[in-house]
Amino acid sequence: MAIDNNFWLTYSFSEKDLDSIYNFLLETEQPLDKFAITKFVVERVIQEQKELQKSKKLSGGQQYIPSKQYKAGDRLLFPQLEWKSGKVVSVRSGNNPEFPDLEVIDVHMATNETLSFAANLSSHKLNAPIVETEDPLLDVDVVISKFGSVLSEKVSTILSQSKDLVCIARQYFPRALVVDIGIGHLNLCEAVLEMAQGGPLSTAELIDQIELPTDVNAHLTEFSLNLALQEDGRFDEVGPAGVTLWFLKRLEPVEVQAPPVTLKYSGEIEDLSELGINRDLVTIGVCDELEPSIECEPSDSISISLSYPHWRAGTLPLTNQLRGLFPTAYETPRVKFVFKDGNSGEIFPGWVVRPSKYIYGLRNWYEQMGTIPGSIITIAKSNTPGEVIVQTTRNKNSKDWIRTVLIGADGGIVFALLKQVISCTFDDRMAIMVTDIDALDAIWSNTSKQRQPVEKVILTMMRELGKLNPQGQIHAQELYAAVNVIKRTPPSVILKTLYTQPWAKHLGDLYFRLDESN
């Protein structure tokens, strides 16, 4: 009579479950997240299953014990046979000199077979009634541990279909009990956040500042204010998972509201499997948020080399490689946190922009550190919640030969190897010195230049980079860095072009040479 794993894996929540949840929230008068609600529903289902099993046992009859006497028509349960039931159809005397009172009962089982059992037998190991052990899959902690994630997603789905429930910060509550928050209190919240340079401030801090009454139910008041703030376009929830923090949207950086121009990409990501290219090669030594996430081992510290688009925007790519180092959230698209300079200890604001997969807030720091495209940046976890350590290794201002991008009077791109003063460590293949940022900005803002086919841009960059190497060899990573100086292009697009165009000759190990002889 035990239930199996499939019972919980395929359990479908019904309107009855939704009604129970709604009534439970009404009774508790406290907003709950999907995990707490899932536990409540599981407890209710377990109780129903236990009662159902008890009812089945009672309807199946009494437990079979050899020492008892039975008569035709009695219904019995057999714990040794997985609690199967049967009906006594006849009783006869036994034939055993050692047990003169022995009787034999013939039982027609629910499985449609007739079996014989001993009765009126005073000495038998089965005479002690068997107590059924608790089914582990009817233990709420076991069920939550094994199936909690699956069940909570199902709960979330059914809750989202209810017009009588509202959700804020991943918590649900009956709409009928929500406290009305007037426009006056919302205006006061705006003023408080403005005085705090936009925020972020917690809901509790806002309630305290605007003197919102909490004498009825503090949890309910906080939930109601959260709902009112969420539905008002002036406010943005920017807290990490499990924390609700509010920011004044009009005081957020423009680059947080919409991606900077150098990070925008409207093309497709190429599938390289048809070309037999290993997906690991797509990264070609770079960290690019445009590519599909590649699973990687978590790390407390990661170093990456900056591409021009992120260097110019003052951002970092939010890839799986870096995701674990930054605070995240369940739903809110933007998360506010702080950067800490690993050398000086300076603190400055940062933003995780989850939908567009980048981290903003480093432009001034890049400038202070003297970084260039290709500089190596180390990002590390901090022991302080909501803080991320960022660091680069400073060099004594030494001169190095480095690829330098120059812009002609006609807006054309030229690369040259020139001696430049470099202030921090860099990746040789990614490093590019920019001498005229305004000229490059003009290229990024020129619609016609941005519309030119990527194949043409790649061809132009191969011509330029080929001049800097006596053998004309160009590594795909170098080409990625160069192309992204003027056009946002993911690695897979560059690799597909290199592997499919006749003018790109593969030399092995992601090295190519331009061959325009055909």
**Chain segment 74-109, per-residue pLDDT in tens:** 888 887 777 788 888 899 988 888 888 888 889 898
Q: Rounded CA gap, 353 and 332, in Å?
A: 9
Q: Rounded CA gap, 426 and 487, in Å?
A: 22
Angle (CA) 441 446 449, round 5°: 110
Q: Average of pLDDT values for 312-328?
A: 90
Asked whether residue 239 carries a pLDDT value surpassing 60, the answer given is yes
Burial of 45 (0-12, 13-18, 19+ CB in 10 A): buried
| CA neighbor of 22 nearest in space, from 147, 14, 144 | 14
Q: Are 233 and 190 in contact (CB under 8 A)?
A: no
**Which range, 7-16, 245-254, 404-413, is most confident?**
245-254
* CA dist list (Å): 494 to 21, 141, 467: 53, 51, 19
Residues contacting 442, CB < 8 A, separation 6+ = 411
φ and ψ of 299, to 5 deg: -145, 150
The two structure tokens encoding residue 282: 């797509």
**Which range, 127-131, 132-136, 256-260, 285-289, is most confident?**
256-260
Asked whether residue 482 carries a pLDDT value surpassing 60, the answer given is yes
Q: How close are the terminal C-alpha atoms of the chain, in Å? A: 77
Per-residue pLDDT at 246: 94
The continuous run of DSSP H or E covering 43 comes out as helix 34-60
Q: Average of pLDDT values for 384-396?
A: 88
Domain ranges across the chain: 5-57+135-168, 66-119, 178-252, 274-395, 396-514
Asked whether residue 55 carries a pLDDT value surpassing 80, the answer given is no
E runs forming strands in 131-262? 165-168, 171-174, 201-202, 235-237, 245-248
**What residue type is 380 in one-letter code?**
A
The continuous run of DSSP H or E covering 153 comes out as helix 140-160
Computed over every residue of the chain, the mean pLDDT equals 86
Instruction: Give the DSSP per-residue string, 319-350.
Output: -HHHHTTS---SS-SEEEEEEEETTT--EEEE
**Chain segment 127-162, per-residue pLDDT in tens:** 776 555 566 667 788 888 888 788 888 888 888 888
In the numeric block, the tokens 């290709």 are attached to: 374
Q: Rounded CA gap, 219 and 205, in Å?
A: 14
Per-residue pLDDT at 339: 95
Per-residue pLDDT at 300: 87
In the numeric block, the tokens 């599938």 are attached to: 271
Burial of 38 (0-12, 13-18, 19+ CB in 10 A): buried
Q: Are 433 and 403 in contact (CB under 8 A)?
A: yes
Q: Grade residue 195 by pLDDT with cuts at 50, 70 and 90.
A: very high
Q: Are 427 and 474 in contact (CB under 8 A)?
A: no
Q: Are 111 and 130 in contact (CB under 8 A)?
A: no
Per-residue pLDDT at 455: 92
pLDDT top residue among 82 and 281: 82
Asked whether residue 499 carries a pLDDT value surpassing 80, the answer given is yes
Q: Rounded CA gap, 482 and 414, in Å?
A: 11
Per-residue pLDDT at 398: 73
Q: Grade residue 220 by pLDDT with cuts at 50, 70 and 90.
A: confident
The two structure tokens encoding residue 130: 């068997």
How many Cβ atoms are within 10 Å of 69's Cβ, its own excluded? 12
Rg of the Cα atoms in the chain: 35
The residues with which 512 forms a beta bridge, in sequence order, are 474, 506
Q: Rounded CA gap, 138 and 50, in Å?
A: 8
Asked whether residue 58 carries a pLDDT value surpassing 80, the answer given is no
Asked whether residue 1 carries a pLDDT value surpassing 50, the answer given is no
- If phi > 0 it is left, if psi is from -120 to 50 it is alpha, else beta; for residue 348 that is beta
CATH 1.10.10 at 178-252, yes or no:
yes
Q: Average of pLDDT values for 443-464?
A: 90
Burial of 233 (0-12, 13-18, 19+ CB in 10 A): exposed
Burial of 156 (0-12, 13-18, 19+ CB in 10 A): middle
What percentage of the chain reaches a pLDDT higher than 90? Answer: 36
Q: Grade residue 242 by pLDDT with cuts at 50, 70 and 90.
A: confident
**Chain segment 412-432, per-residue pLDDT in tens:** 889 999 988 888 889 999 999
Q: Are 405 and 412 in contact (CB under 8 A)?
A: no
Q: Rounded CA gap, 453 and 126, in Å?
A: 84
Topology alike, domains 178-252 and 274-395: no
CA diameter of the chain: 119
> What class has domain 274-395?
mainly beta
